[in-house]
Chain A
Amino acid sequence: MKIRTEQFVEIAREEMKNTRSKAFLGLLPPVINAMRQISLATFPDPDAAQAYGAAIRGEVVTRLPELLEEFERNATARGTKVVWARTAAEANAFVLDLAKKKGVAYVTKGKSMLSEEIGLNDALIDNGVDAIETDLGEFIIQLLKRPPFHLIGPAVNIAVEEVRDLFMEKGILAEPTEDPVALGYAARLHLRDKFHRLEMGVTGVNMAVAETGTIVNVENEGNIRFAKSSPRTQVSIMSLEKVVPTMADALHMIRLLCRNGTGQKMASYISFDTGPRAAGAIDGPEEVYCVIVDNGRADLYDDPVARDVFRCIRCGACANICPVYTKIGGYPYGWAYTGPMGQLLNPLLLGFSGTSDLFRACTLCGVCKSVCPAGVDHPRMFLYYRARDAAGDPKLRSRGRPLKERTLYDLFAWGATHPRLWRQGAKRMRPRVNRDARDGYLSRSVDSLDGWFRSRDLPEMAEKTFQERWKEREGRKANA
C-alpha cells in the first residue's frame, strides 16, 4: 500500500473541499455515534462495561508474550498450524508460498487491516495468485485502487454512479443501476462463484483466545464465514496484539466491539475456530493456519507508553467522533489505519519521520479517549510522540524538529523562568504586535501567525497587562 502520510495537509485540504466526502462526513459519523450510544445504553452500566474492556486490554498488553504462547500451545494442540512472521515480507512470503503449494489460482480475502498494513494483496497478485477482497467496501476500493476512507465502511464515500460505472466496466453489472441494493446484489452474484470454487481463504482475526486457542472473527456480510467454510485451506493473519486471555473476555470484547464499531448490539456473524473441521464434517477447512505477524511491534514493547497502542481493537469509535477525522475523512492519514488510531499506529509502524503531521494534527480534545472501549489514552500518547519527536528519538525513527522551533521553546522556557524579563519582553513586543490594530483588534497577520489570521481576528495586546492593572489596584488600595 502506497504511503502518503507526508501529504497529510494537502490531502486534508482537498478532502475538505470535496462535497461528496463532506456530505458523508456530515451525515454518517453522527448517525453511528447516536447508534453507538443507544447500543451502549443496553448495558445496565455502560461505563463499567467500557472500563472492564479497558482492563482486559490492559492485561493483554502486560501479559502479551505469555498469552501468545498460551494461544499457540492451545491452538496447536487442536491442529491449527501457528506460524510466526517477523516482517511484512515474511508474512506475505508464507501466504504466497502456501498458495503456490496448494496450486490455487486465487484466494478470497476477508477485511483485514493487517493485510493492508503488510501489503498482502500486492504480494500475491504480483506473483500470480489473485487476491480478491470480498467485503463489499473492500471489494469496491480494491477495484478502484483507493485507500480506505473509513475503518468500517472503506468505500462508503464512493458515489453510486462511480460504483455503477466500475461494475459495468468490470462486467459485474449487466444493466446500469444507481440503486445501492441492486449494486450490492450484483457484487453478491459475482463473488458467490468465487466462494463456491474457493480453495484457500484468507481472513484477518478480531480476537485470538489464549485459553482455548480459538480464533474469533466478527462480521456482518458472511464473506468471512464463506472463507472458513468453503475451502480446504484457511489462513488467518493476526497482528500479535489480537490475543485475549479467556473466552469470557472475548465475549465481553465482542459486545464492546459491535456496540462501539457499528452501534450494533451484535454483528450478524461471529465465528469461532479452534483447529480444522471436525472429523466427518463435509465442509470447513482441512488445514487452518494462523500467521502471527510482528512487523515492528515487538521492538516497541519495551516502551511503556508506546505499547499502549496494542490495546486497540479496531472498532473505529474514535474516528467517528474525532473533530479532525469527521472533517477530513480517511484519506489524509495516508496509510492502512485512519482516524485517531491511525494517528497512533501509522507513526509507530512507519517511523516518525514522514508521519509527524499525524500526531500533531490533533487539538488534544480527548473525545477519542472518552469513547475508547480499550482504555487507550490518545492525547497522552500524542504528547508522548511529540516529546520523543522533539528529542529526535532514533528508535522511533524521528528526524527531530527544526532548530528554529527548538530555539523558540528554549527562549520561551528561559523567559518564563525570568519573570522580570518576561514582563519586559511582553512590553517590548506590544507595539510591534499592535502595529496594525484597529478598534482593539488585529486583523492582519503578525510574524508567523498567518494560519490564525486567515479566518480569525485577535484582540490586540492589552494596553496594560493584568499584572500592571493589579499593581495599580494594589497601589490605589495602599493610598486609600
Chain B
Amino acid sequence: MRRVSLFVPCLVDLFLPEIGEAAVALLSRLGVEVVYHEAQTCCGQPAINAGYLPQARKVARHFLKVFGEDEAIVSPAGSCVVTVKRHYPELFADEPDWLARAESLAPRVYELSQYLVDVLGVEDVGATFGGKIAYHEACHVLRGLGVSEQPKKLIRAVAGAELVPLNAADACCGFGGEFSLHYPDISEVLVAEKAANFINSQADALVLCEPGCFLNISGYLHRHHPEKKVFHLATLLAGNGKGVRA
C-alpha cells in the first residue's frame, strides 16, 4: 500500500479545513494511506515573500525535521510546494547540512494533482459533478511547478463535468499574499478581472489548486457574485462539492 504524508498549509488548516479533509478522503479512496504529522505548522512562505530570511530558515528547519523522513509528501497548495522544493535549497545555500536535507526532500514533495496523475497514474478518480467547469491556472502551480495538464486531465475525467475554456486562465488573480493587503487597489482590479472572465466562461464552477487564489477569488465572488462557486480541485474530486461553502 502506498503511503503519503499530508502537508496541510496554514491557510487550509485554519480557514479551509474542508480542502484538507477532501484530500484525505480522495487519497484514501484511491487506496493510499495518509499520514499526518501533528507537529506541522507552516512552510514559511510568508516570511520568504516578505524578505525575512533568518525567520524563514527557522520555520524551514522545523518543516525539514517534521517531514524529513517521509517517502512522499503531498499538499493541496502549489505555492507551498514551490517553497519547499525551490526556495528551501536557496535558503540554505550557505548551510551544507541543511542544504543536503532540503535537497533530499525537494523531489519527494508533490502538489496533489501532480501526485495523482504523475505518480499514481490515475485520471478518473470516480468523482461526479453535473455542470461546466473552468480551471484557473494558479501562477505557482503553472509556472512554479509546470503543473497544468494534470489537473485538467483529472477534471475531464470527472463524470458529468465539462471543462470549458477560461479567458486569461493563466493570468494572476492578484493575491500574492501580502500584495493583496498592501496594494489593494491593484489587487482588486486583478481579482475583478479574474471573476469577470470566470462569469463570462459560463462555467458553473471555477476549480483551482491553490488555497491563496481560492481565498482571493472566492472572497471576491462572495462579496459581489455570491451565487458563483469556486472549488479546490481536491473538493471537486472528493465528490462532496455540494456540501462545501463557497
Contact = CB atoms under 8 A, between A and B. Distances in A.
Question: Are A and B bound to each other?
Answer: yes
Contacts of A362: 176, 179
Interface of B: 8, 12-17, 20-21, 24, 36, 38-42, 44, 46-56, 58-59, 61-62, 87, 90, 139-140, 143-144, 170-172, 174-176, 178-192, 215-216, 218-220, 222-224, 245-246
Interface string A440-457: 110100001111101111
Contacts, number: 198
B226 to A, nearest CB: 9
B15 A451 contact: no
Contacts of A389: 51
A366 B55 CA distance: 24
12 contacts: A9-B185, A327-B189, A360-B182, A365-B139, A366-B144, A409-B50, A413-B55, A419-B39, A456-B219, A466-B13, A467-B36, A469-B17
Given A370-B143, A461-B14, A327 B190 contact: yes
Contact of B189 (A16, A410, A412, A413): A16
A352 to B, nearest CB: 11
A391 B52 CA distance: 8
B222 to A, nearest CB: 4
A323 B21 contact: no
Interface string A293-325: 000000000000000000000000000000110
Contacts of B139: 363-367
The 10 closest A-B pairs by CB, nearest first: A363-B176, A386-B51, A451-B184, A390-B51, A456-B219, A413-B55, A365-B172, A365-B139, A466-B17, A466-B20
Interface size class of A (residues with CB under 8 A): 35 or more
B186 A12 contact: yes
Contact of A390 (B24, B50, B190, B246): B50
B228 to A, nearest CB: 13
Contacts of B223: 443, 455-457
Nearest to A449: B181
A51 interface: no
Contact of A462 (B16, B179, B181): B16
Given A383-B51, A390-B51, A412-B46, A454 B41 contact: no
Contact of B15 (A365, A409, A443, A459): A459
B47 A422 contact: no
Contact of A415 (B41, B51, B185, B245): B41
A331 B77 CA distance: 35
Given A16-B189, A363-B139, A383 B184 contact: no
Interface in A407-460: 409-410, 412-417, 419, 422, 426, 440-441, 443, 448-452, 454-460
A454 B188 contact: yes
A451 B14 contact: no
A455 B218 CA distance: 11
A409 B176 contact: no
A20 interface: no
A333 to B, nearest CB: 13
Contacts of A465: 13-14, 17
Given A416-B42, A454-B188, A458-B215, A367 B49 contact: no
B33 to A, nearest CB: 12
Contacts of B186: 12, 16, 324, 327-328, 361
B219 A452 contact: yes
A409 B59 CA distance: 11
A364 B174 CA distance: 10
A441 B47 CA distance: 27
B67 to A, nearest CB: 13
Contacts of B58: 413-414, 416-417
A63 interface: no
Given A12-B186, A370-B143, A390-B53, A466 B12 contact: yes
Given A413-B59, A456-B219, A459-B16, A451 B143 contact: no
Given A327-B190, A328-B186, A469-B17, A455 B220 contact: yes
